[in-house]
A and B are shown apart, each in its own frame.
Chain A
Amino acid sequence: MNTTRYNRQIILPEVGVIGQQKLQRAKVLIIGAGGLGVAVLPYLTAAGIGEIGIMDDDKIDVTNLHRQVIYKSSSVGKSKVLEATAMALELNPSIKINAITERLNHKNAISLFEQYDIIVDATDNLNTKYLINDACCVTNKPFVYGSIYKFEGQVSVFNYEGGPTYRCLFPDETSDFRGCNEAGVLGISVGIIGMFQANEVLKIILGIGEVMYGKLLVYNILNNEQQKFEFSKSTTVTMDKLSFEKKYVLSENPIFEIAAIVALKQINNPKVVFLDVRNSDEYPKMAIHSCVQIPLDELEKEWHRLDSTATLYVFCQSGIRSKKAVEILMKHNFENVKSIAGGAKKMDKIGYNKTASVSNSINN
C-alpha cells in the first residue's frame, strides 16, 4: 500500500496505518450514479476504499449537469456508470471500481449485496429504497441512507448491527413521492447529504465516532438547522429471505396483476367484484356497480366482509396500494385476486365513465 498518498489521514490517530488497511479491505456498493452517488464516489475513491461498486443504468442528461458535477458537458448521452468509473480510476488508480450498468431489482439485489460490506443508497425513488432496505436485511448489510426534498435532506444508517431499518422509520410503503426531477433540487443539497453519507461509510469501516443508526438526521440548507430524531426497532416489521421472495416475486408476478382495460371489460360481470382500497376522500370516484370500498389500512381487519371465492379486482389510485392489498388477501387464502395496473387514474384515463354508464343503464 502506498501510504504517502494517504499520509494526511493516516497521521490522524483515529485512522493510522491500521485504519488505512481497513479502508483498503472494505467493499462499498453505491446504488445510483446521480446527484448523491457522484458526491459520495470521489470521496470514497480518494480515501482509498479498496473496492467500490457503482450501479446505475442511466445515461447522462444535460439537466443532470448542474448537480452531478463529475460529468462533463461532452459526456451527455454516455453511460453514467462508465463515465463515473473512468473519473474514479483517474483519481485513484490503486483501487478497484466495479461498473454495474444495470438497474437494481429483486432478482439481482441479494447476490450483488453479498459481495459488499456496506450499501449506499443514492437513489431517487421510494420503491428502490424499500428494495435496498429489504435486501440489506436479508444479507445483513448496513444501509447508508440519504435523500433530498428540495432544500432539505435526510441521512441515516439502517440495519446497522441488527439495528432499526427503513421500514421501522417509514412503515407506510404506499406513499407516492416526487423526486428531484419533478420537485427541483440544488446541486449543493445533494453534495451536502452525499458528504454525510460518505462520512458514515468511513466511520463504519474505521470504527470511530458514533454511527448514525436509530437516528434520522434532517438538514435544512436554507436555515442550516439540523435535527436528529431517534427511532427504535419495530417488532412488527421483519424481513428474511422467505418474506423477501414472497413480497417481490409475488408482486412482480404478472399473474397477480390485470391491465385496466381488461378489468374494465368485466365491469358488467356479476361474478367480478371490484375492490377500491383508497380512502373515502380520494378522487376520481368510480361508479362501478359491484364495487366495495375498504381502505387499505382497514383491510387487515375487514377482509372477512369479502367473499373469498369471488373474483376480486383490486384498485387504488395508481396501482401500488392495490398490490399490497392483494398480498394481504392472498395471505387470507383468497384465490382469485388481481391488482388493476395503474389503478383509478388509468381506468379514468381510458374512459371508464362511458363503460360505467352502460353498466348503470343495464342495472337500472
Chain B
Amino acid sequence: MIAVKYFGMIAEKTKTEGEEFSFSGMQLVDLLSTLEQKYQLGQLSFSVAINQKIVQDTADYKLKSNDIIALLPPFAGG
C-alpha cells in the first residue's frame, strides 16, 4: 500500500484529506497522472513530499511500498 495525503485547495478538490492505493511498482509520475485524471487537479500547483521530504525532481522518482506521499500547495491567505 501507499498513502496519499492532501492539503489546502488540493484536499478541497479531492474531498478527502487522504487515501490509500495498492502499490503496483508504479513511479511517482504515474501516481500523479492517476490523481490528475481522478480529480482534475488541473491548474492547481503543488509540491510533492515523500515520507515528509520534498522531492525536487518528480520525473524519475520511484515509489516504494508504504511510502506516504503528500501533495502540498502553497497557501496565500493572511
Q: A residues engaging B (CB < 8 A)?
A: 32, 34-37, 121-126, 129, 146-150, 152-154, 168-170, 172, 174-180, 183, 185, 190, 193, 216, 218, 227-232, 234, 279, 281-282, 317
Contacts and interface: CB of A to CB of B under 8 A. Distances in A.
B73 A177 contact: yes
Given A175-B44, A229-B53, A229-B70, A34 B78 contact: yes
The binding surface of chain A is classed by DSSP as mixed
A170 B53 contact: no
A121 B45 CA distance: 21
Nearest to A152: B8
Contacts of B12: 150
Contacts of B77: 35, 124, 147-150, 178-180, 183, 185, 190
* Interface-central residue, A35, A146, A150, by most chain B CB under 10 Å: A150
B44 A218 contact: no
B76 A169 contact: no
Contacts of A183: 77
Given A170-B47, A230-B54, A178 B7 contact: no
Given A176-B43, A231-B54, A154 B75 contact: yes
B72 interface: yes
Interface in B60-76: 70, 72-76
A14 to B, nearest CB: 28
B5 to A, nearest CB: 8
Interface residues on B, range: 20 to 34
B70 A126 contact: no
A218 B54 contact: no
A179 B76 contact: yes
17 contacts: A124-B77, A124-B78, A152-B8, A152-B75, A170-B47, A170-B74, A175-B45, A178-B76, A179-B78, A190-B77, A190-B78, A218-B7, A227-B52, A231-B49, A279-B42, A281-B42, A317-B43
B78 A177 contact: no
A216 B72 contact: yes
B20 to A, nearest CB: 17
A257 B37 CA distance: 35
Nearest to A225: B17
Contacts of B56: 168, 231-232, 234
Contact of A229 (B45, B52, B73, B75): B52
B76 A177 contact: yes
With most chain B CB atoms within 10 A of its CB, the pick from A122, A126, A149 is: A149
For the complex of A and B, list the 3 residue pairs with the smallest distance between their C-beta atoms, beginning with the closest: A175-B45, A231-B54, A147-B75
A341 B33 CA distance: 31
B4 interface: no
Contacts of B9: 149, 177-178
Contacts of B43: 175-176, 279, 282, 317
Nearest to B56: A234
A298 to B, nearest CB: 13
Contacts of B52: 227-230
A270 to B, nearest CB: 32
B54 A148 contact: no
A282 B14 CA distance: 20
